[in-house]
Amino acid sequence: MPNPLKAPAVRKIGVGQAIILLSLFAMLLFAVVWASMAWTSAEDVQMSIHGWIALILGVTFSLLIGCGLMALMFYSSRSGHDEAATPDVRRQSDTLEKDD
């Protein structure tokens, strides 16, 4: 029986994974710097109350739709509806595994 108090072994990353992580971090840093420069460059532009209302409503509804669709995706995956939607593909993969 494994000891639950023992820490799991730490796996080292390879050179390829390190390059991918560094490039992703560089892209994130570039996006943050660009966004902050774009945000601060428009300091003298005034947005009306209608613009603020449109911005708040757009962000709110986008988040609601995104969260709702993600919740439906997880519910569908957990409840087994995904398997029932593709019975032919499921049967073909089962017969291929049995033949091997």
pLDDT digits (tens, 9 = 90+) for 48-64: 999 999 999 999 999 99
- Length of the chain (residues): 100
User: Which two tokens mark 51?
Assistant: 């613009």
Give 46's Cβ-side CA count (13 Å radius). Answer: 2
pLDDT digits (tens, 9 = 90+) for 31-43: 999 999 988 887 7
Dist. CA 41–CA 35, nearest whole Å: 10
In terms of phi and psi (left: phi > 0; alpha: psi -120 to 50; beta: otherwise), the region of 93 is: alpha
Q: Average pLDDT by consecutive 10-residue portion of the chain (100 residues)?
A: 70 91 98 92 86 96 97 84 63 58
- The whole-number pLDDT of residue 75 equals 87
| Dihedrals phi, psi of 64, to nearest 5 degrees | -65, -45
Dist. CA 25–CA 31, nearest whole Å: 10
pTM above 0.75, yes or no: no
- The whole-number pLDDT of residue 33 equals 96
Asked if 13 and 21 touch (Cβ cutoff 8 Å), the reply is yes
- The whole-number pLDDT of residue 93 equals 55
